[in-house]
Structure 1
Amino acid sequence: MYIKEIIALIEEYAPLKFQASFDNSGLLCGDPKRELTSVLLCIDVTEEVVNEAIIHGHNLIISHHPLIFSGLKHITPATYVERCVISAIKHDITIYAAHTNMDVVANGVSGRMADKLHLHNRQILQPEGDLSEGNGFGIIGELETPVESMAFLRQVKATFHCDRLRYTRPHTPSIRKVAVCGGAGASFFNRALANAADIYISGDFKYHDFFLTENRIMIADIGHYESEQFTKEIFYEILTKKISTFAVQFSEINTNPIKYL
């Protein structure tokens, strides 16, 4: 099997045409016509991840976040991005990213968050593009039965393996309607509010965003990485329907750059 065949599987699930205008999803470096040895799945490409691929003989890295986001004017050892590109090219490793195109498909990043929380009666939080395709950012759905607010928050913290979780005071004794969005979802807060969600779970809220709740909705900021960490599972499920599980491996590197005391 060739690398381009693996890429085709990802793009069939999350077509590149769905990526946001600012994004840089797709093939970032390498030759897709090479024969595949094995695949390494990750959220971010770092030097440690590239070294992991070299050590274990993976010649394709599939990440959620693009290694190259804006154009490179030179390729020197000056930054970790450039060092990763140099190392990948030197060792014939292809790097591919599925970012906002994987965010907007219904069974993508936010869909996986909804799976983890067992949400029912789901709808897209912020529809995008052709509404008939059912794509957009975030998911809103319902718990099968209401859960006491702080008990649900503790469940969220455990489910997403959060070292810390920032949240606003509960405005209701229990949670039933839940909105989620992988990554930086603060811009969709008003959509969660308009859809009468009891809680909105996402990442990267600013300090003043928390004032917007005005005792109408609860915000839970679980962290950017934490909200997207299960994207690797989606990649794995897509690929192992077609190729051996032995050829697809999860990176063992925790690439979350944020640490907590």
Structure 2
Amino acid sequence: MRLDSLLNKINNILPQDSGIEGDRLGLQIQSGRNNVSNILITMEVDKNVINEAIKLKCDCIITFHPLIYNPLLKIHDNDRVGYLTSELIKNSIALISIHTNFDAFSEGTSKIFADKLGFKFEEFLIKSNLYNERGIGVIASVNKPVGINLLLKRINTVCNSPIKHSSFKINKIIKKIAIVGGSGSGFINEVLDSGVDAFITADISYHHYHQVFDRLVLIDPGHYEMEQFVPNGIAQILRKYFQNELKINVSSVLTNPVHYFPKGDIYCNKQKKYLINSNKKMVQN
């Protein structure tokens, strides 16, 4: 398939202007390619992902987290972005970014996470001004009110990670919840206005916990942990539209740069196991 044709079709499915303004979406590195046939989808690019692409004979990587976010002033091997850019060009591998335009998709990042927890989608937290049925973050309800401790256990099981949370009354019952996959603490005021009982997002600061004291339960399972299901979500969409035109692979490389103490190996091994098992299921389907 021609690379420009792939980009146009992706933009029809996941319009760039449905994402957050200023995000780096679409083609990041062409690497001299006009045609692609074998795609690798990953959370983000690192050396191990590039090696995996080479091993699988992939000519294009689709990354959720953009590799190039700030303008490159130089391409140097001592710089992470510069080094990875050089490696992609050297191996003639194109790089495409699908990020907040997938977050805003009707079956995007936050909706996937709500589904994993068994919650029912109600509406988007921040509705798109340009598109129906798109937006950032979701508000979801539980089929049956759940105690906060049971909710935390469920999140821990789904995410395979330790959970940070704000203080709460021991008998707190959760009926409705807001979810923003990845860094969503900038939406706390909108969440407070929505009247939900709890907010699940990542990268919550110390002062945010003070801000919502006694008004909202904040839950932070981790950035990677909330988004680890995204590559498979993107793959499902692209396989639907490009089933007979492209070979689509999902990376088995764990790119989470955050480790834990104690029991860090247990969490990392569980996250690696999820990648391997989910890929096996997708191949079988």
Same-fold status (TM-score > 0.5): yes
Q: Which runs of 4+ in 1 moved over 4 A?
A: none
Measure the CA separation in 1 of the matches of 2:24 and 2:121.
Answer: 32
Partner of 2:208: 209
- How many aligned residue pairs are there? 259
The structure-2 alpha-carbon separation of the partners of 1:193 and 1:260, relative to structure 1 and needing over 3 Å to count, comes to same
Amino acid of the structure 2 residue aligned with 1:159: V
Residues 1-43 of structure 1: CA distance to partner in whole angstroms, max 9, x if unpaired? Answer: 3334443443222101223232111100016863323111111
Give the TM-score normalised by the residue count of structure 2: 0.84
Partner of 1:135: 134
What is the RMSD computed on CA atoms of the aligned residues? 2.0
Partner of 1:197: 196
Tell me, yes or no, if structure 1 residue 10 matches structure 2 residue 17. no
Partner of 2:42: 42
Unaligned runs of 5+ in 2: 262-285
Percent same amino acid among aligned pairs? 28
Greater mean deviation of Cα atoms: 173-182 or 201-210: 173-182
Partner of 1:51: 51
SS in 2 for 1:215: coil
SS in 1 for 2:24: coil
SS in 2 for 1:133: coil
- Say whether the 8 Å CA contact 1:4–1:32 is kept in structure 2: no
Partner of 1:150: 149
- Say whether the 8 Å CA contact 1:10–1:238 is kept in structure 2: no
Measure the CA separation in 2 of the matches of 1:112 and 1:256.
Answer: 19
SS in 1 for 2:256: coil
- Matched ranges for 1:102-251 at <5 A: 102-130=102-130, 133-162=132-161, 164-171=162-169, 173-241=172-240, 242-243=242-243, 247-251=247-251
| TM superposition shift of 1:118 | 2.5
Residues 135-171 of structure 1: CA distance to partner in whole angstroms, max 9, x if unpaired? Answer: 3211001011111210111101111222x11001234
- Say whether the 8 Å CA contact 1:3–1:32 is kept in structure 2: no
The structure-2 alpha-carbon separation of the partners of 1:155 and 1:244, relative to structure 1 and needing over 3 Å to count, comes to farther
The structure-2 alpha-carbon separation of the partners of 1:245 and 1:160, relative to structure 1 and needing over 3 Å to count, comes to farther
| TM superposition shift of 1:243 | 1.9
Measure the CA separation in 1 of the matches of 2:192 and 2:176.
Answer: 11
The structure-2 alpha-carbon separation of the partners of 1:17 and 1:182, relative to structure 1 and needing over 3 Å to count, comes to same
Measure the CA separation in 2 of the matches of 1:119 and 1:219.
Answer: 17
SS in 1 for 2:96: strand
Greater mean deviation of Cα atoms: 93-102 or 113-122: 113-122
